[in-house]
Structure 1
Amino acid sequence: MDRPLPARGRWAGWSRRWLGLLLASLLLLGGAWALRQAWPALPVVQQPQLATVRQGEFRDELVLRARAEPLRLVQIDAQEAGRVEAVLVQDGALVQAGQPLYRLHSREQETLLMQRAAEVAQQQANAALQRSAWASSQAQNRRELAQLRAQAEEANAQWRRQRELAAAGFVSAAGLEQAERQATLAAQLLAQAREDQQLEQRTRSQSLAEMDRAVAGLQQGLRLLQASRDQWTARAPMAGRLSGFALQPGQSLRPGEHVARIHDPAAGLQLAAEVDEFYLPRLTGQLPAFSEAGRWTLTQTLPQVQGGKARAIFQAEGTAPVLRPGQTVELRLQLGEARPALLLPEGPGVQDPVYVLQGQELQRRPVQLGRRAAGLVEVVAGLQAGDQVLISATPHTEAKLRLP
C-alpha cells in the first residue's frame, strides 16, 4: 500500500542551487587555468616611466655648465726652496707690478753663499800672492840679467884688448885663446838667462791667467747666488688682483710649488666649459650661446680630450656681464636653427626600437630618431603625437610587455 512521502523543505532547494554554482565556478577556474597554460603571461615592467610624444619646436642646443675665468691671468710658482719668513700682502689685494709678495729664508742657501764668498776671497788672495811673487822674481831676474850683461861686455872688452896686444907680440896665443873663451862663455850665459826668464814669464803668466779665470768663475757663481737671494723676495709679475694666496709664516716651499695667481680685472672674463667629445665635429665657427648673464660666442675649442671631455672657451658679446672669477653659470650653446618636430623626453629606453603603450600592454615598435638636445629627442618616423612611450630602461626584449 502506498505511503505518502514527507514534504521537501525549502533548504533542500537552496542546497542544489549552491552546488550548481560551485560546480560552475570550478569549471570556470579550470578553463582559465587551461587558457593560462595555453597562452603564457607577458613579462611585467617594474616601475615603468612613460612619456607622451608631443608636437613642438626642437631647439638644437647643448646645455653646459661654464665657469668664469679671467682673460688675463698669471700663475705664480715658487722659484726657490725655503721657509716663508714673512707674508707681505693679503689674499684678494690689488697689487702693482714688482710689489713684494712674500720673503723666504733658506739656511742652506745662506751657508752656500758664505762658502762661495770664502772661496772667492781665498782665490783672490792666492792670485795676489802669485802676482807678488812674480813681481819679486822679475826684479831678481832684471838684476841677474844686468850683471850677466855687464860680465859679457867686460869679457868682450878684455878679449879685444888681448887681441890687440897679441897682434903687437905682447900676449901669447894661449892668453888670447883664454880671453876669447871667457867672452864666448859670458855671451852664452847672457843668452841663456834671457831665454830662461822669457820661459818663466810665459809660465807664470799662464798660471795667473788660469787663476784669474777661476776667480772670475767663482765670482760669477757668487753673483748668481746673490741674485737667487734677491729672488727669496717674490714680487708680483704684473698689476692685478691677487687670489689663491694662502701662505703662512714658517711654511716650507719647494721649487715649482703653486703659490697664487694674479688676474687683471680690467681685461674682462671669459667662460670655459667642458663639452662631450661626441659634439666636437659640430663645434665649428663662432656659435652663439646664451645665459642669464648675457650673450656669448664660442671662440676656441681646445684639441686636447681628457676623460671624454673637451674644453670650450666663450667670450661675451658687447658689454661683459658682471661675474666673479670661479663663478659658474648655465650656458645654452646653440648648435643649429630651431624647427618644428615631434619631441620625446630623453631616457635610457628611448632607443630604436621603443615600447609604445597599447591598452594595458607595451608593444615594441621600430622608430627613427633624430638629434638629441636639452633632454629632448627628435622623432623622425614611427610615432605620432599623443603616443605613450616607455622611456625607462627594461631588461626585456620581447615584442610585448605588460604594465604592473
Structure 2
Amino acid sequence: MDKKISRTWRQKALRPSLFGLIIFFVVAAAYNFSQANTGGRSHNVAINNITISSVTQGEFVDALSLRGQVVPKTTIYLDTTTGGQVEQRLVEQGEFVEKGQPLIRLSNTNLQLDVMGREAQVTEQLNFLRNTQMNMATSRLNLRRDLLEIELQISHLQRRSKQSSMLVDKGLLAKDRLAEIKDNLSYYQARKALTIERQEQENSIRKVQVKQLEESAVMLEKNLLFARENLDNLLFKAPVSGYLSELNVEIGESKERGARLGQIDIPNEYKLVILLDEFYLNQVHRDLAVMVALESGNIMAKVSKIDSRVKQSQFQIEVDLPTSASNIKRGQNIDIKLMLGGNKEQALLLKRGAFFSNSGGNWAYVLTAEGNKAIRRNISLGKKNQDYFEILSGLSLGEKVITSSYGNFDKAQQLQLN
C-alpha cells in the first residue's frame, strides 16, 4: 500500500524564492544591457578629470595664429634639351651663380655625328646650288648669243631683199632668187620670236628653281644652326642669376632629353606657404591681410594664392613677402596672423577645447547652478580663433561648460560630477 509523502514548509517556500531570484537577475541583466547599448541617461565623472570653462563676453578678434614656411617666389627649373652623359660638374649645390655661368658639361656622340652629317648635307646642297646657277648663267648666255646671230642674219637678209627687189624690177635677177631670200628672212624672224619666247620661259623657270634651291639651302643652314646650338647646349649654363638650390647630377650619369638637372631660386623674392584647416575654406580669399612676425618687426602682407584642394582636412594658401623683408632663408618657418576681418566688440566667448571634435560644436555639457551636474544642451558656435569660439546661441554669460573631450561619455544626457 502506497504512502502519501507530504512536503515541509521549507520545501514549499523554496520554489517561489528561486523564481523570484531568477526574475530579479533577468530584470537586472536586461537593465544593464539596455544601459550599455544606449550609453545611459546619466554618467558619473570625476571633476578632476575634466576641464570646465566659463562663458565670457569681450572682443572677438577674428584672426588665426599660424606658421608659414618660406619658399622661393620664383624658381627656374634646369632641364636638359639634348641629353647625354655627365662629363664634368662645374659648380656645387647651394652656390650663387651668375647668368651664363657654366654649370655642367655633357657629352653626346650621336649628337656630334648628327651635326657632322648636317654640315655635309649643307655643303652638298650649296655646291649643287652653285653648279645650277652656273649652268643657268651659261644657258642664258647661249640664248643671248643665238639671238644676236639671228638678228644679224635678219639684218643681212633684209638688206639683200631690198637690193634683190631693185634688180628684179630691172630684169637683172630672177624672181625665184628673191623669193628664196624672203623665205629665209621669214624663217629667221620666226626663229627670233621663238628664241625670245624660250628666253622668257627659261628666265621664269630659272627664278623659281633658284628660289627653291636658296630656300632649301636656308632651311639646311637653319637645321645645322639648331644642331650646333644643341651641341653648344652640352655645356649647360645658368639661364638667370640666383641660388642653385638643387643640382641632381653625378659624373658619369646618363641624362635623357628633358631630364631635370636642378633648379635656381631668384634671390630676395620669397613667399610663405601656409596650411589651414578646411573649416576656414569659405572665410579665406585673395588679398586678405596677413601680419608676418619677422626678427626686424611685424610687416603686413596679403594672401596671393589659394589652393582649394583639400588634402588630409587641410588646404594651402600663399602669401607674397615684400622685397624689403630681410634675413629670410628658404625653408624657414615664420609666425603669422591671418586677419579674417570679422572682429566683434561684445561677443559671447567660450575657450577652445577638445569637446568640439566630439560634438562638432552642435551641443555641449553645461553645468547646473549647483555645480554637481552637467546637462547636455544644443548650442550653436560661429567663428573661432586661436583661443575662443564665438557663441551664437544656446549659452548665456557666466554659464560653465565642460570643454575637455567627451570621448568616454558623449552618449549620456547628463553627467554626475563627483
Which bin holds the TM-score, normalised by the shorter protein? 0.7 to 0.9
Q: CA deviation at 1:379?
A: 5.0
Equivalent in 367, 378, 381 of residue 369 of structure 1: 381
- SS class of match (1:329): strand
Is the Cα contact below 8 Å between 1:357 and 1:390 reproduced in 2?
A: no
- For the residues of structure 2 that align with 1:121 and 1:269, how far apart are their CA atoms? 52
- Which residue identity does 2:216 align to in structure 1? A
What is the CA-CA distance between 1:372 and the residue it aligns to? 2.6
1:3-402 correspondence to structure 2 within 5 Å: 36=28, 41=35, 43=39, 50-54=50-54, 60-71=62-73, 73-83=74-84, 84-265=86-267, 267=268, 269-283=270-284, 287-289=289-291, 291=293, 293=295, 294-307=297-310, 309-313=315-319, 315=321, 320=325, 322-335=327-340, 341-347=349-355, 348-350=357-359, 351-355=361-365, 363-374=375-386, 376-378=388-390, 381-382=394-395, 384=398, 387-388=401-402, 391-393=405-407, 397-400=411-414
Aligned mates of 2:372, 2:172 — CA distance in 1: 162
Q: Bigger CA drift: 118-127 or 101-110?
A: 101-110
Higher mean displacement: 367-376 or 330-339:
330-339
Deviates more, 1:33-42 or 1:204-213: 33-42
Q: Percent identity?
A: 21
Instruction: Using the TM superposition, name which of 197-206 and 280-289 deviates more.
Output: 280-289
For 2:273 and 2:70, the matched residues in 1 are separated by: 7
- CA distance in 1 between counterparts of 2:50 and 2:309 reads 35
Render the CA deviation track for 1:97-156: whole Å, top value 9, x for unaligned: 221222333334323322222221111111111122223323333333333333333333
Q: Which amino acid in 1 is paired with 2:302?
A: T
Q: 1:186 to 1:388 in 2, by over 3 A?
A: closer
SS in 2 for 1:341: strand
Residues 324-367 of structure 1: CA deviation (Å, up to 9, x unaligned)? 20122344435465978342423322433223578887642333
**Equivalences, count:** 374
Provide TM-score, normalisation by structure 1. Answer: 0.76
The one-letter code matched in structure 1 to 2:218 is: A
State how far apart, in whole Å, the 1-side matches of 2:339 and 2:411 are.
36
The Cα RMSD (Å) is 3.9
Q: Distance in 2 between matches of 1:134 and 1:31?
A: 126
Where structure 2 has 5 or more consecutive residues not aligned to the other structure, the ranges are 1-17
Between the aligned partners of 2:61 and 2:24, the Cα distance in structure 1 is: 52
Aligned counterpart, 1:16: none
What is the deviation of 1:277? 4.4
Alpha-carbon deviation of 1:211? 1.0
Give the residue type in structure 1 aligned to 2:395: G
Q: Quote the residue 1:18 is aligned against.
A: none
Separation (CA, whole Å) in 2 of partners of 1:125 and 1:322: 64
Does structure 2 conserve the Cα–Cα contact (< 8 Å) formed by 1:268 and 1:320? no
Q: 1:158-203: per-residue Cα shift (whole Å, max 9, x none)?
A: 3222212111111222232222222222322233233323322332
CA distance in 2, matches of 1:225, 1:47: 81
Kindly state the Cα deviation for residue 215 of structure 1 after the two structures are TM-superposed: 0.9
Residue aligned with 1:260, SS: strand
Question: What letter is aligned with 1:304?
Answer: D
Query: For residues 177 and 314 of structure 1, do their structure 2 counterparts lie closer, same or farther at Cα, with a shift above 3 Å needed?
Result: closer
Q: What letter is aligned with 1:315? A: L
Inter-partner Cα distance in structure 1 for 2:180 and 2:339: 119
Residues 308-338 of structure 1 show CA distances to partners (whole Å, capped at 9, x for unaligned) of: 5131315379x73533201223444354659
Please identify the structure whose Cα radius of gyration is greater.
Answer: 1
Question: Partners of 2:248 and 2:44 in 1: how far apart?
Answer: 53
Letter in 1 for 2:386: A
Q: How has the CA–CA distance of structure 1 residues 81 and 189 changed in structure 2, closer, same or farther, with 3 Å as cutoff?
A: closer
Report the CA distance between 1:50 and its aligned residue: 2.6
Equivalent residue letter for 2:53: V
Q: Displacement of 1:289 after TM fit?
A: 3.2
Q: CA deviation at 1:66?
A: 0.9
Query: Displacement of 1:221 after TM fit?
Result: 2.1
Classify 1:316/1:158 alpha carbon distance in 2 versus 1 (closer, same or farther; 3 Å): closer
> Which residue identity does 1:365 align to in structure 2?
R
Q: Which one-letter code corresponds to 1:325 in the other structure?
A: R
The answer to whether the Cα contact below 8 Å between 2:65 and 2:386 also exists between their aligned partners in 1 is yes
CA contact (8 A) 2:350 2:388 kept: no
**Structure 1 CA distance, aligned partners of 2:29 and 2:406?**
30
Shift in CA distance, 157/198, structure 1 to aligned 2, threshold 3 Å: same
Give, in whole Å, the separation in 1 of the partners of 2:141 and 2:316: 81
Letter of the 1:299 partner, please give it: K
Shift of 1:52: 1.4
- Looking at structure 2, the residues matched to 242 and 388 of structure 1 have their Cα atoms a distance apart, in angstroms, of 54
| CA gap 1:306/1:175 in 2 versus in 1, 3 angstroms | same
Equivalent position amino acid for 1:203 in 2? I
Structure 1 unaligned residues grouped into runs of 5+: 1-25
